[in-house]
């Protein structure tokens, strides 16, 4: 087995500060499933000289890693764990073939025509109610159906699960639909923004994308289109399909350059984290390196853009108890906690509080919940229990994978709580204000 050099692995001083942040170590209680243990395994793999059986065992511990990067936040030495993991997974891809379902998803997500067809079929399953019917089935089929069911939105015309206030709230603050002359002048100065529509977001959660566009417009940004954009490639990079991730990055760079947007707004934490790292992904390509770095510098999570703009306040459109959870790729990979908090604070009267384990991974991690459903569900269980204990009806989180994984867990456990993206709540608040 050939594993490239592992720049940054030698920064590890084996202090173990990362272990208590690692969901797989805390769940499996095995040093080989901790960040520190995995770094030792990576270095050993790079050194070589092991039997195929030993290599296979070592790789299984690397496969158990969610790639949540909580270890990076905890590490005082600055070990670039996510980068190391992606490099090792890319170099060992031929020794650890991905499961068929993972390969199929990655193949389809990289091909727009196939992706559109696949999403159409999945939406049909949702529209017929089949996903609702099978959501409590045991095993992967039930989990998949419950996951799909969480993407249902009122605008899909079938189900209305988001609790609404029993009485209309009085208007608080200025009407965002009618900006003051000063606000209008300020709005003119704001930037042109292209929204990453994404694969799962546009395919199954298009209302979240429309809400994103509306709240950006309401906060003075001019939303422009970026035709030709594709899946960001995050899933491919995490799975070790480096060449596919690079190809998708190149296509996206060209598409967003053509849009002439100053910023690229991303409402999916995992996608935003991957796009902010396009410079590293294409560092080996002299032709693309500079363009990739320039593109990465323009990428913003939607909460960053909204926080820069204020955002405009409005009365919350729901009086439900809201629990706040932090997506790992927002908190640990992008190191963003304040902008999402400011988005929620813009909703006056919102009954929101942070989950006790809000900084802990939910177990979704892209394809992980499909590839390792058992471990993924064990990691999710404490979060579901915390949601139950705090009595929340709505859980907000800024990543589609987390929304779907937590939402599916809630649905399958019989909880009436639902998951929502923060911009959906803000959009509801603006809509309710405009309707008054
Ligand atoms: S990325 Fe997450 S699961 Fe993997 S070693 Fe780090 S903390 Fe543990
Ligand atoms: S916290 Fe950082 S330096 Fe310490 S063991 Fe973990 S990865 Fe190594």
Residue 395 contacts residue 425 (beta carbons within 8 Å): no
Give domain status of residue 23, yes or no. Answer: yes
12 lines ligand 2 (CB under 6 A): yes
Say which DSSP state 262 is in.
S
pLDDT value at position 131? 97
The model's pTM is: 0.90
Higher pLDDT, 93 or 210: 210
Q: For residue 168, is pLDDT > 80?
A: no
Q: Would 233 be classed as within a structural domain?
A: no
Nearest to 156 by CA among 122, 206, 210: 206
| Domain boundaries, position 67 | 9-91
pLDDT value at residue 187: 52
Confirm whether 231 is domain-assigned: no
The tokens of 229 are what?
């954009």
Q: Which ligand is nearest to the CA of 361?
A: 1
Measured from the alpha carbon of residue 85, the closest ligand is: 1
Among 95-104, 252-261, 295-304, the range scoring the smallest mean pLDDT is 95-104
Q: Are strands 322-324 and 394-396 parallel, antiparallel or unpaired?
A: parallel
> H or E segment at 374?
helix 373-390
Count of residues making up the chain: 436
Q: Measure the CA–CA gap between 387 and 395, rounded to whole angstroms.
A: 8
User: Are the C-beta atoms of residues 372 and 239 closer than 8 Å to each other?
Assistant: no
Centre of ligand 2 from the C-alpha of residue 52, in Å: 28
Residue 218 within any structural domain of the chain? no
Computed over every residue of the chain, the mean pLDDT equals 91
**Residue 40 pLDDT:** 96
Most ligand 2 atoms within 8 A of CB, residue of 9, 17, 33, 73 to mutate = 17
> Which residue intervals of 227-332 are DSSP H helices?
234-239, 242-259, 269-275, 278-281, 289-298, 302-309, 328-331
Residue that terminates a domain, selected from 56, 91, 126: 91
**For ligand 2, atom 4: residue with the closest CA:** 15
* CA gap 245, 263 in Å, rounded: 21
The pLDDT of residue 176 = 46
> What is the number of other CB atoms lying within 10 angstroms of the CB of residue 97?
9
Pocket residue to mutate for ligand 1, from 17, 59, 71, most atoms within 8 A of Cβ: 71
pLDDT of residue 97: 84
Of 66, 91, 116, at which residue does a domain stop?
91
Q: What is the pLDDT of residue 188?
A: 62
Residue nearest to atom 6 of ligand 2 (CA): 18
CA 287 / ligand 1 centre spacing (Å)? 33
- Residue 224 resides in a domain: no
Task: Give a yes or no: residue 16 inside a domain.
Answer: yes
Of the three residues 58, 91, 124, the one that is the final residue of a domain is: 91
How far, in Å, CA of 135 to CA of 142, rounded?
5
- CA 252 to CA 250: how far, in whole Å? 5
Per-residue pLDDT, 166: 36
How far apart CA 318 and CA 138 sit, in angstroms, is: 33
Ligand 1 centroid – CA 39 distance (Å): 11
160 vs 115, residue with greater confidence: 115
The reply to whether 364 falls in a domain is: yes
Does residue 282 lie within any of the structural domains? no
Instruction: Pick from 20, 25, 30, 35 the residue to mutate for probing ligand 1's pocket: most ligand atoms within 8 Å of its CB.
Output: 35
User: 49 is written with which tokens?
Assistant: 């000289």
Closest CA to 272 of 250, 246, 303: 303
CATH number at residue 419: 3.40.50
The pLDDT-based confidence of 157 (bands split at 50, 70, 90) is low
Number of the ligand closest to the Cα of 68: 1
Pairing of strands 418-420, 352-354: unpaired
pLDDT reading at 171 higher than 50: no
Q: What's the pLDDT at 382?
A: 97
pLDDT band at 161 (very low <50, low <70, confident <90, very high): very low
Split into its structural domains, the chain has a count of 2
Rounded to the nearest whole angstrom, what is the distance from the C-alpha of residue 225 to the centroid of ligand 1?
36
Q: How far apart are CA 214 and CA 353, in angstroms?
A: 25
- In the reported structure, the alpha carbon of residue 433 is separated from the centroid of ligand 1 by a whole-number distance in angstroms of 42
| pLDDT at position 167 | 33
Q: Which residues pair with 223 in a beta bridge?
A: 193
- Tell me the ligand closest to 76's alpha carbon: 2
- Residue 74 CA to ligand 2 centre (angstroms): 8
Going by alpha carbons, the residue nearest to atom 2 of ligand 2 is 75
| Tens digits of residue pLDDT in 306-351 | 999 999 999 999 999 999 999 999 999 999 999 999 999 999 999 9
Residue nearest to atom 4 of ligand 1 (CA): 65
Give the pLDDT confidence of 17-75 residue by residue, as tens digits. 999 999 999 999 999 999 999 999 999 998 888 888 888 889 999 999 999 999 999 99
Q: pLDDT tens digit string along 172-190?
A: 344 444 554 445 544 565 8
Q: pLDDT digit string (tens) for 365-422?
A: 999 998 999 999 999 999 999 999 999 999 999 999 999 999 999 999 999 999 999 9
Ligand number nearest to the C-alpha of 17? 2
Q: What percent of the chain has pLDDT over 90?
A: 83
pLDDT at position 53 is: 85
């Amino acid at each position: 087995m050939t594993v490239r050099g592992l720049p940054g692995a030698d920064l590890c001083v084996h202090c173990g500060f990362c272990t208590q942040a690692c969901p797989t170590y805390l769940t499996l209680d095995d040093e080989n499933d901790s960040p520190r243990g995995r770094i030792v395994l990576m270095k050993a793999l790079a050194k070589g000289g092991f039997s195929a059986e030993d290599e296979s065992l070592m790789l299984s511990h690397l496969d158990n890693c969610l790639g949540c990067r909580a270890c990076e936040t905890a590490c005082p030495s600055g070990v670039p764990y996510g980068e190391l993991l992606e490099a090792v997974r890319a170099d060992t891809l031929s020794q650890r073939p991905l499961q068929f379902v993972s390969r199929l998803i990655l193949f389809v997500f990289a091909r727009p025509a196939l992706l559109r067809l696949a999403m159409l079929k999945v939406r049909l399953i949702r529209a017929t109610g089949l996903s609702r019917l099978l959501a409590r089935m045991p095993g992967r089929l039930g989990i998949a159906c419950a996951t799909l069911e969480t993407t249902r939105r009122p605008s899909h015309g079938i189900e209305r699960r988001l609790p609404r206030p029993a009485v209309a709230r009085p208007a608080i603050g200025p009407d965002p639909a009618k900006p003051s002359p000063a606000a209008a002048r300020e709005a003119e100065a704001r930037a042109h923004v292209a929204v990453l529509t994404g694969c799962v977001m546009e395919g199954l959660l298009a209302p979240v994308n429309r809400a994103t566009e509306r709240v950006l417009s309401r906060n003075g940004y001019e939303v422009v289109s970026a035709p030709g954009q594709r899946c960001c490639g995050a899933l491919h990079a995490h799975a070790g399909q480096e060449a596919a991730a690079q190809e998708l990055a190149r296509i996206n760079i060209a598409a967003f350059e053509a849009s002439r947007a100053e910023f690229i707004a991303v409402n999916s934490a995992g996608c935003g984290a991957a796009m902010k790292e396009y410079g590293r992904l294409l560092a080996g390509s002299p032709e693309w390196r500079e363009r990739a770095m320039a593109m990465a510098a323009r990428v913003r999570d939607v909460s960053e853009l909204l926080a820069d703009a204020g955002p405009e306040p409005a009365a919350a459109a729901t009086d439900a108890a809201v629990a706040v959870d932090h997506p790992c790729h927002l908190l640990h990979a992008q190191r963003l906690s304040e902008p999402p908090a400011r988005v929620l604070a813009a909703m006056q009267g919102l009954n929101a509080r942070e989950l006790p384990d809000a900084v802990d991974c939910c177990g979704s991690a892209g394809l992980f919940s499909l590839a390792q459903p058992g471990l993924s569900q064990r990691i999710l269980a404490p979060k579901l229990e915390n949601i139950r204990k705090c009595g929340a009806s709505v859980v907000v989180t800024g990543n589609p994978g987390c929304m779907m994984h937590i939402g599916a867990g809630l649905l399958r456990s019989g909880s009436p709580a639902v998951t929502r993206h923060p911009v959906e709540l803000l959009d509801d608040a603006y809509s309710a204000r405009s309707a008054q």
